[in-house]
Structure 1
């Protein structure tokens, strides 16, 4: 089969080549991939990808079940599915556990489905971990990215008032339409204290945002895109009685993927796939993702 493999000498650190087909385990289905997405944290050029040269990365993928699980579990051949996994998504075929996928509603196409897993799951589980409820004020950093777009919408669906925090005002375009009540690039402009902070940036921005937290607030750390240290005054955490939690998406994702896909089918959750390209352009698109030139999600279709 054809697949994108890590080759740090190639554009974007990715090369399209032939690799052996995956061998599904007894509780795995074999999926013919139609679309996959690129996430900043899995790209070779971010320096955070731990996979070796020649490995097939890819967390998100959507396609059609080509061979059902030998155990009889999971969907039958021909089912349209969205899948999650720590590798193997950037290939024509993917072996995936039956509890790491969801059957797609007819209204959800492969492009939108491929954008859902990591970004949607991260946003959903962060809000759940913070126990976001109607009336809460929720701030989301990196709100112009894939996780941010989903977090803004899901927090609003849960009845929260949302503050979208972006690197510059231009990147805030469209966030009000997604549900943000306020879009800021400077924490000092946040109108009132926030109960929950979903942070993807870290660094000095996180330190400044801690000053905008309400007493007994919750901070969910889901990334550190700035790559900078966060200067903390520990006793301020005590004074405000803040709770800091770090989370990572993944593991038994099937039910949550089904929930997200249903929200998309019901037009309650919008998938912002602002860049869609053939996977032969993966290197160029990967470079744009690393350089933060993509709003929302970047999706590759398999030709």
Structure 2
């Protein structure tokens, strides 16, 4: 079976190779992969020296063999899947039925493949905030998959995305977000919650944009540098903030199927759309990973598994 694996050449990150066929456990289905989407974590995991990570966290395909324990969809069913440990950039993958949701014929494969990770993170971030009506949110690092779903799902809230001029941002106003190109363009103490995933200077500056008692959801560090908070600096904004180290999978012991099914329903009904920044063949995986690493991909990248 062919699959993408970590490349010994660091400049390519991943290469196509022959690997053993998957051997499903009793609660896993064997899925023939039609298309997969690449996410920034694919790049980050592969960029670790000596990585053995296999890319592909989200995908769409058909059930070849259903789970032996009788759970999950039947053979031939069209499904999307979320595999946090990767491995979906392959011809076939074994995946727990708790990580699978059926996909109706009305939903195209590219959209289905683009939904899982970004949709799950956005859905759970907003759930953590509770009632959104009338609230002002500021978000960083949201030019890709998570951002588009955050903006569309933040019903009743006003959301401002902070993105530099040379980063992907043009699609965000079309989805309903305001855009600021620098943190300094924002008024101190003017937001109820911050959703921060960049780190470094930007992430640190965003804290001062919170009103007193605001919420800081820290869900990533894409820039590689940690945030720093100045106790006295927060007197201009961000006093008494509550900081949450947010991990989207925390507490999800039963799998992601319920939330995946909800995302499918929203997308199939037209209430959630996926911005696809790149469509192509899986042979483009190395170059797309580099674009993700450089932060130059608007929306999601979806690649089809070809013969």
Same fold (TM over 0.5): yes
Alignment CA distance shift 1:50-1:198 (3 Å)? farther
| 2:168 aligned counterpart, secondary structure | helix
Say which SS state the counterpart of residue 140 (structure 1) adopts.
strand
Partner of 1:67: 65
Counterpart in the other structure of 2:179: 183
Q: CA deviation at 1:170?
A: 6.3
Native 8 Å contact 1:3 1:91 kept in 2: yes
Offset at residue 24 of structure 1 (A): 0.7
| Alpha-carbon shift at residue 253 of structure 1 (Å) | 0.9
Is 2:95 the counterpart of 1:96? Answer: yes
> What is the match of residue 79 of structure 1?
77
CA–CA separation in structure 1 for the residues paired with 2:57 and 2:218: 20
Could you tell me which of 268, 272, 280 is aligned with 2:271? 268
8 Å contact from structure 1 (residues 26, 70) kept in 2:
yes
What is the 5 A alignment of 1:232-251? 232-234=229-231, 236=234, 240-250=239-249, 251=252
Aligned length: 298
Match of 1:298 in 2: 301
Q: Which runs of 5+ in 2 are unaligned?
A: none
Task: Determine whether 1:130 maps to 2:129.
Answer: yes
- Root mean square deviation, CA, Å: 2.1
TM-aligned CA distance change 1:45 to 1:117, over 3 Å:
closer
1:223 is matched with which residue?
A: 220
TM-score (norm 1): 0.92
Summarize the Cα distance change of 1:219–1:48 in structure 2 as closer, same or farther, 3 Å threshold: farther
- Name which of 193, 197, 201 aligns with 2:198: 201
Q: Matched residues in 1 for 2:206 and 2:244: separation?
A: 15
2:25 is aligned to: 25
Say which SS state the counterpart of residue 20 (structure 1) adopts: coil
Instruction: Give the 5 Å matches for 1:147-186.
Output: 147-155=146-154, 158-168=155-165, 171-180=168-177, 182-186=178-182
1:279-294 alignment, distance < 5 Å: 279-294=282-297
Alpha-carbon distance in 2 for matches of 1:207, 1:272: 29
- Distance in 2 separating the partners of 1:10 and 1:189: 38
Question: How far 1:31 sits from its partner (Å)?
Answer: 0.6
Where does residue 56 of structure 1 map in the other structure?
A: 54
Greater CA drift, 246-255 or 39-48: 39-48
